[in-house]
Structure 1
Amino acid sequence: MKRDTYKKIVAASGIETGDLVLIQYWMNDSFSEDIAFLQAEIAAAGATPVMVVQNLMISQLINENATEHTYGDKFFKLYEDADVIIDLMERPVGVLTKPLDPEKMGLLGGYMGRLFQTCASKKKMLQLRVPTEVMASKEGLDPVDYKNRMEAAMDIDYNSLRQECENLREANSRFSGVTIKTGDNYSLDISFGDRSWDIDAGDGDIPCGEINIAPIENLTNGKIFFEKIYLPDPENPRARHDFDKVVLSVNEGIITSSNNEALNSLIEKYGPENVTVCELGFGMNPGVTSLCGCAVLDEKMIGTFHLGIGDNTMFGGTNEADFHNDLIGHGEYIWKE
């Protein structure tokens, strides 16, 4: 990406003079100009960049030979002094070139879990996706199309985006719930009580651009229509299922059924915690203008809402689940004070 885009991202992130910024560089085979541009702009902001390299081939070899002592307390001391953590992702986090045996897979899972918790405890944690061919392949998109979409979503006016997000948060904060009208007069009632709206405008997920809230977990009821949804396979998270013209029925916060038998089977496999309505969000990014099936882009599309299912413990909710997935739609809103 352009160096000027990284300058915008660093400015929007809230990195301050004197911060120690630890970059986890999830690289493929070789160093790119992206890691150079990011570190240069961090330095220009008066902060100190340091790097932990997660090279794909090396990570494969390390984890094939790991023991219970490989990722001990001393490893995580590397993160103690960091003020900000940035995942610069030129490949999917934690994914290797070939499967590990069950024992090694268990060690890798434990390491990744502790790593995420360690990073999330810092003042700021950013996840920045570089539009590489590997990342495009993960999303099932043409590399050129993916690159164009990602760069348009990141090369934006972040100050204007934040102001728009704060304006909408202020407007929504006086309401305790909303009814979303979709499709052929379907209605979904969502209550969030006195829970707070969060803003994602450059200091979290990159590309960014949404406001969101965790609804009260057992107080979402009704039906909702989506033109298209994408859901992960419960047995292979790297695979996904696509469904068109979906109507979901929700009772006491849990999706109980749909108008599609294949989807109903998937809902049953997930279990109730993974089909609990856990988030309501609104896309605010002016650089995202059409849906493509890539969740990190689609949920930011300006003029859309997204309904999250699964885990929401990271942003004010109480539902623990195996994953978090967003369903993106268009609707009309009737707000409740």
Structure 2
Amino acid sequence: MPSGDLMPELRSIRGEMCLVREERGGQDMYSDELEKVASFLVHDSLLLQPGERVLVDSSGDEPLTPMLVRKIYDAGAFPIVKTMTTATIKEMIRGSSRESLLLWSRQELSRLKSMDAYINMTADRNMYEMEDVPPDRLVLYYKLLYQPILAAAAAKPKWLLLHYPTDALAQLAQMSLDQLQAMFVRSCDYAGRHLQTRYLPVSRLLERTSRVRIVSPGTELTFSIEGQASRLCDGSHNFPGGEIFTAPLLDSVNGAITFNVPFHAYGRCFRDIRLEFCEGRVVDVTCSDTRAFLALMGKDDGASRVGEFGIGLNPAITSPIGTPAYDEKMAGSIHLALGNSYSEAGNGNVSTVHMDLVLSQLTQHGGGALYFDETLVRHNGIFTLPELQHLNEELEEGDAS
């Protein structure tokens, strides 16, 4: 099925959440809702305490940053804000060398070291802004600076990554900005530590599963997760939240999978990615730009192996947006990440890349089936087991117009 068919039609989102611009001016309504998001991030996601130092690292001038500053002060904590626009980052990378990137990295890591918490906010104005940056320098930037910073942040008990809804992201999703903002705000309904109880049946099911089988158009893939731990993304480290993930045993992945959601990375868009695996390693690749994708996979040995298997559970997200920050949480989807594995639910794979590739199994995207130990667990994005029926109700409510 052509990946273009996946781009969502313009539609209204749940009446009480639609952020239409009327009476109060639209933006005022959104500001009120955004204040609630800022409060959630400070008090529920990060659980900030008086005296803690928080680095807010933003790539754009958007209204959430000043709201976060206020909420951080309200919590008795101390905000430090660093804003560097994508255009500035681009020029820093374009003229960089290994030495300049290492200097930049040391400076950033030194500042982060003195912090108790970290918030990284991406606010894209052009999703293709890095298209004309030399690929070798872009990869070196990710290797020497971006990934070490995220690794250092993830070593702290309090850290958070989020992708702010901008015009560029809305255009990529073929949505109005109001729709994307409504989705972002509504994701708070499906985040929070209380969700551990709601999604506990999924976690328990994963932990007693040995073999996973994924079937969709162009897809017949199997692997083992026997004995592997799982982790729920509840918005405490990644917002929007709403996925549960584990990792296949390294040599157990066999078969082929076709990802029907476009993957954006390094300033490029890859569509219709098809991977064929043999004993855990990618042995064949085709996509809209196979040569560029192979270049990403060729960075190290771990880039051709799977470091993560995840299931999307967020019913506020039912259409691809164009960034894994949203798409991997999409209800009715699964994803595999080529590259580095997360230690809390990992398989030991080590890589300088982590590429989340998403397959939607919702009916409108071609459908599909997910089996655990040959038991059908989800069909066309709908859970089939009695103990998971409450998740289907949320999906129907979340996708209502």
1: distance between equivalents of 2:46 and 2:35? 18
How far residue 300 of structure 1 moved from its aligned partner, in angstroms, is 0.8
Match of 2:277 in 1: 250
Gaps of 5+ in 2: 1-29, 362-368, 376-401
Once residues 60 and 338 of structure 2 are traced to their aligned partners in structure 1, the CA distance between those partners, rounded to angstroms, is 30
TM-score normalized with structure 1 length:
0.78
Hey, what does 1:332 align to over in structure 2? Answer: 370
Give me the identity figure in percent.
Answer: 19
Checking the alignment, whether the CA contact within 8 Å between 1:15 and 1:47 is kept in structure 2 is no
Quote how far apart the aligned CAs of 1:219 are. 0.6
Residues in 1 aligned to 2:206 and 2:142: alpha-carbon distance in whole angstroms: 41
Equivalent in 293, 302, 315 of residue 331 of structure 2: 302
1:17 corresponds to 2:49: yes
Report SS of the residue matched to 2:319. coil
Select the structure that is richer in strand: 1
- Which of 351, 356, 360 is the equivalent residue of 1:320? 351
d(CA) in 2 for partners of 1:96, 1:188: 33
Partner of 2:227: 194
| Length-normalised TM-score, structure 2 | 0.67
Equivalence map 1:232-251=2 (5 Å): 237-243=266-272, 248-251=275-278
| CA distance in 2 between partners of 1:195 and 1:277 (Å) | 14
Instruction: Name 1:6's counterpart in structure 2.
Output: 38
Q: Structure 1 residues 108, 301: closer, same or farther in 2, change over 3 A?
A: closer
Going from structure 1 to structure 2, the CA distance change for 1:324 and 1:34 (only over 3 Å counts) comes to same
**Could you report, residue by residue, the CA deviation over 1:241-274 in whole angstroms, capped at 9, with x for unpaired residues?**
222xx7653211223347x686776765544743
Could you tell me which amino acid in structure 2 is paired with residue 170 of structure 1? R
Separation (CA, whole Å) in 1 of partners of 2:105 and 2:351: 26
Aligned letter for 1:24? D
Q: How many angstroms apart in 2 are the aligned matches of 1:277 and 1:70?
A: 32
Rounded Cα–Cα distance in structure 2 between residues aligned with 1:88 and 1:57? 15
Alpha-carbon shift at residue 218 of structure 1 (Å):
1.1
Is residue 270–residue 293 contact of structure 2 (8 Å, CA) maintained in 1? Answer: no
Q: 1:297 to 1:48 in 2, by over 3 A?
A: same
Distance 1:266 1:333, change over 3 A: farther
1:120 and 2:154 are equivalent in the alignment = yes
- The equivalent of 1:282 in structure 2 is 311
The Cα shift of 1:212 comes to 0.2
**Is 1:47 the equivalent of 2:82?**
no
CA RMSD of aligned residues (A): 3.8
**C-alpha separation in 2, matches of 1:125 and 1:163:** 22
Q: Which residue of 2 aligns with 1:130?
A: 164
CA 1:190–1:105 in 2, change beyond 3 Å: closer, same or farther?
closer
* Distance (Å, rounded) in 2 between the aligned partners of 1:336 and 1:250: 20
Equivalent positions of 1:48-63 (< 5 A) are 48-56=78-86, 59=89
Distance 2:71 2:326 in 1: 24
Count of residue pairs the alignment pairs up? 324
Q: Which residue pairs with 1:26 in the alignment?
A: 59
1: CA distance, partners of 2:276 / 2:145: 37
SS of the equivalent of 1:158 reads coil
One-letter identity of the residue aligned with 1:301: M
* SS class of match (1:11): helix
- The Cα shift of 1:283 comes to 1.0
| SS of match in other structure, 2:38 | helix
